[in-house]
Amino acid sequence: MRVDPVRVDMNSAASAADDKPRPARRPVIGICARTAPVTLQGSALTVSLALQTHVTYVAEAGCTPLLLPLLDGVGEQLADRIDGLLVPGGPDVDPRLYGQRPHPATRAMTPDADRAELALIRAVLDARKPVLAICRGLQLLNVLHGGTLHQDLAEVTGHDGHRPPADAFVLGRRPLKLLPGSRIAGILPEAEPETACHHHQAVDRLGSGLAATGWADDGTVEAVEVVGHPFAVGVQWESGQTADKRLHHALARAAGPHAQ
C-alpha cells in the first residue's frame, strides 16, 4: 500500500496565519512614580512606588499599568510607548516654577522630579494621548500652562476643610459644583457629587488653555480640562483613595484607541 507524503504549501500557511485577527493589545497606562523612605528588613531605603489602588483600578479597566520613574528625559523616551498617563498626588510643587518664593507651609519639594514630570506631561499632551491628573497632578497641569498656585489654601478660604488636621491621613469632604456639559460632569453625572480631598494648595491663577470645570463650595477650583484636547482632565481631590473607579475607567476608555 502506497502512502503519498503530505505536502504543505508554506506560503499558503503563512498567508492563512496572517489573515487571522490578532488579539487587541491592552492599552498601557503610565503612572508617575513617587519616591518615599521605607524601612525594609531593618534597612532604611528610598523606593519608587505607586498607590496600589491606581494600579488595581487601571488593570481592572483592561489596561496594563506601568510605573514611570521621574528621571531626566523620561518624557521624551516613553511618551510614544504608553497610551495614556496617570499623574497622582504627591509632594508640593516647587513654587519657583511659577515665579514665587516658597511659603513657610510649602514642604517636601522635589525640583528635579517636578521638571521631569512636567516634561513627561507635556510630551503626552503633545502626542494627543489621554491624561488624568490627580491632586498634585492638577497643580502640575496648571503650572505647565503658566498658572500659579495658592501655597496655603487655608489663608484664602479661612478654613482647613480641604485637609482636616489630624495625626493620621484624613480626607476632607466638600460638595462639588461641576460645569454642565463638561467632560468631568459626564463622568460624574450625579446631582450632588462630593470630593474626598487632602490638599493645602490649589489653583490660584488658571493657566492659559485650561478651563475650570469644577469648584468646591468655597470657590476652590476642583477640576480643570485642557481646552481642545481629546481627554486631559485634572481633579484636585484624591481619586484613588476611595472606591470610586470612574475616573480611572474613563482614562482607560480614552486610551483604548491608541493601543490599536
For the segment 130-146, what is each residue's pLDDT rounded down to a tens digit?
999 999 999 999 999 99
Contact 68, 31 (CB under 8 A): yes
Q: What is the DSSP letter of 129?
A: -
H or E segment at 45? strand 43-49
* Domain 26-259 class in CATH: alpha beta
State whether the Cα torsion 73-247-51-238 is positive or negative: positive
Grid cell in block for residue 87: 499623574
Determine the average pLDDT of the residues in 166-175.
83
The residues spanned by each domain of the chain are 26-259
pLDDT in tens, 31-81: 999 988 888 888 899 888 999 999 999 999 999 999 999 999 887 788 999
The SS3 of residue 59 is helix
pTM of the model: 0.89
Contact 162, 174 (CB under 8 A): yes
